[in-house]
Amino acid sequence: MLSPIKIWCFIVGFFIIPLSLKAQPGPNLAEEIGEYLNLAHNHPDQVPMIENRFLYQLRDSLGLTLLKSMVLKRIEENPDDNTYPDILAWNLLQLKDFQGAYIQEMALDKRNKESGFRLLNLGRLAFRNKSYRVALNAFNYIIGLEPRSRYYAQAKRERLNCLENQILESAYKESDFTDLYAYYQDYIKEFSGEEETRDVKLNLARIDIGYLGKTNEARDLLNQLVNQPGQNPEFQAHCKIELAKVDILKGLVWEAALLYGQVYHDFKEESLGQEALFEGAKIYYYTGDFVLAKSQLDVLKTATSELTSNDAIDLSLLIQKNLEDDSTGKALKVFAASELLIFQHQYKRAENILDSLNLKYPKNALGDDILLSRYRIHFDQHLYDQASLDLEKILALYPEGIWADDALFKLAELNENQFKQPKKAQELYEKLFLNYPGSFYVSEARKRYRILRGDPVN
């Protein structure tokens, strides 16, 4: 049961103070922030509620900066009070000063002997906001604690995810994965007796397949996971999907189709099975059986996974659009074959086919599809300037086409991650959710727009 004091704090925090905190900036704002800080000093258990009110009221950098200066003064006056440093760390996060928050949280962790709990949360928050350097510092701090922190294994796992994203969101080279690969192997060796290493092994296989070209190593690792006694059936299904990718890379498309079929059969009503059905439909598409491919894709229009549903609709529309223009599907068969080559990383052969398409079939309806394929070829080879031009051509020539929103989102990602142009990326994300409100990418575009705009962290 709440004490009278806690009830009073609740009323003050949620009704009385917020009304006055909406006053004009200046002395009034400073006075009301001071009331909050007094409340925090007297009732430390109310700090989370107070931070929530600050989050609601102090939405611009002016108010947050004023809070920072006032809290710093309180810390000087009350060096033994943990309440104000806690609020300062939160305040620095809202100002996107992840490095400052890291220093503050580290000091609090050492003072309170919290075994890195604060740093684990900070690292995750910095990771979500793409402040990878600070995230890595936080995870490394926990890993280096003596005696070993109870968050040690979590921090090691989080560091792997952080390192991988840091590489993928840069102009990376294959050699950039060398250290990451070693970290993965060290983790697997260190925690070999624990069940959670299975997920790390699966992710290592994905890196082997997608970025290092180690398909034989990936196949051996995946088969080991699939055949492990007592293995979770859902996890086995994830491994089979990755094994199917290995088969496609090696040209064994029907062996891959068999694996996808097994997963679909076992998880027909779940998103995992629907993903397998989509990948199986793509095999029929690659091999020119468009009727069967489209029939399976149309089943997935109402898939549980929004991503699978969106991808299925897009591919179904591509098939429909081109078969309406050419009932024989000759141009589409050539194009689909080039798509398979791109998946297999045979980029030169794929480019040669794309170059010949307009010459062989001058009236084809594949203009925007070809440009998107060229983008994939250039992006995969880290030719980002050319990839950007491909996307800009789609937007200029086919603004109403099925790939326009995809092109706009990918162009925003290029500017955010590879070109390091956050202002331009922010403008492109905004353009997407304003001009294409029905796009699958709207939710993610809004989220990234808010992060780039400097909205409070989440």
Measure the CA–CA gap between 412 and 444, rounded to whole angstroms: 11
* 184-to-155, 197, 204 alpha-carbon distances in Å: 13, 10, 7
Percent above pLDDT 70 for the chain: 93
pLDDT at 326 over 90: no
Measure the CA–CA gap between 69 and 66, rounded to whole angstroms: 5
Give per-residue pLDDT as tens, 352-378: 999 999 899 988 999 999 999 999 999
CB 384, CB 404: distance < 8 Å: no
More reliable by pLDDT, 24 or 418:
418
CB 403, CB 409: distance < 8 Å: no
Q: Is 409 exposed, middle or buried (0-12, 13-18, 19+ CB in 10 A)?
A: buried
Query: Would you call 31 helix, strand, or coil by DSSP?
Result: helix
Asked which of 40-54, 138-152, 162-176, 337-351 is least confident by mean pLDDT, the reply is: 162-176
The reported pLDDT for the residue numbered 30 is 92
Give the pLDDT mean for 28-37: 92
The reported pLDDT for the residue numbered 457 is 66
* Residue-range domain boundaries for the chain: 1-95, 249-365, 368-458
More reliable by pLDDT, 56 or 222:
222
Query: Would you call 23 helix, strand, or coil by DSSP?
Result: coil
pLDDT at 4 over 90: no
The reported pLDDT for the residue numbered 183 is 92
pLDDT at 22 over 60: no
Q: What is the DSSP string of 235-303?
A: HHHHHHHHHHHHHHHTT-HHHHHHHHHHHHHHSTTSHHHHHHHHHHHHHHHHTT-HHHHHHHHHHGGG-
The reported pLDDT for the residue numbered 188 is 94
pLDDT at 13 over 70: no
Measure the CA–CA gap between 309 and 339, rounded to whole angstroms: 20
- Residue 405 tokens read as 């929103």
The reported pLDDT for the residue numbered 353 is 97
The third-level CATH classification (topology) of the domain covering 368-458 is: 1.25.40
The reported pLDDT for the residue numbered 44 is 94
pLDDT at 26 over 50: yes
CB 385, CB 369: distance < 8 Å: no
Closest CA to 447 of 421, 413, 411: 413
pLDDT at 19 over 50: no
Alpha helices in 300-418 (DSSP H): 306-325, 330-343, 347-360, 367-380, 384-397, 404-413
Q: Can you tell me which residue has the tokens 């999907």?
A: 241
Percent above pLDDT 90 for the chain: 80
**What mean pLDDT value characterizes the chain?**
91
pLDDT at 413 over 80: yes
Give per-residue pLDDT as tens, 58-113: 867 788 999 999 999 999 999 989 899 999 999 999 899 999 999 999 999 999 99
The reported pLDDT for the residue numbered 50 is 94
Give the pLDDT mean for 251-262: 97
Give per-residue pLDDT as tens, 138-188: 999 999 999 999 999 999 999 999 999 999 888 788 788 888 999 999 999
Q: Is the peptide bond before 422 cis (omega within 30 degrees of 0)?
A: no
More reliable by pLDDT, 2 or 76:
76
The reported pLDDT for the residue numbered 171 is 76
Report the 10 Å Cβ neighbour count for 361: 17
pLDDT band at 17 (very low <50, low <70, confident <90, very high): very low
pLDDT at 23 over 50: no
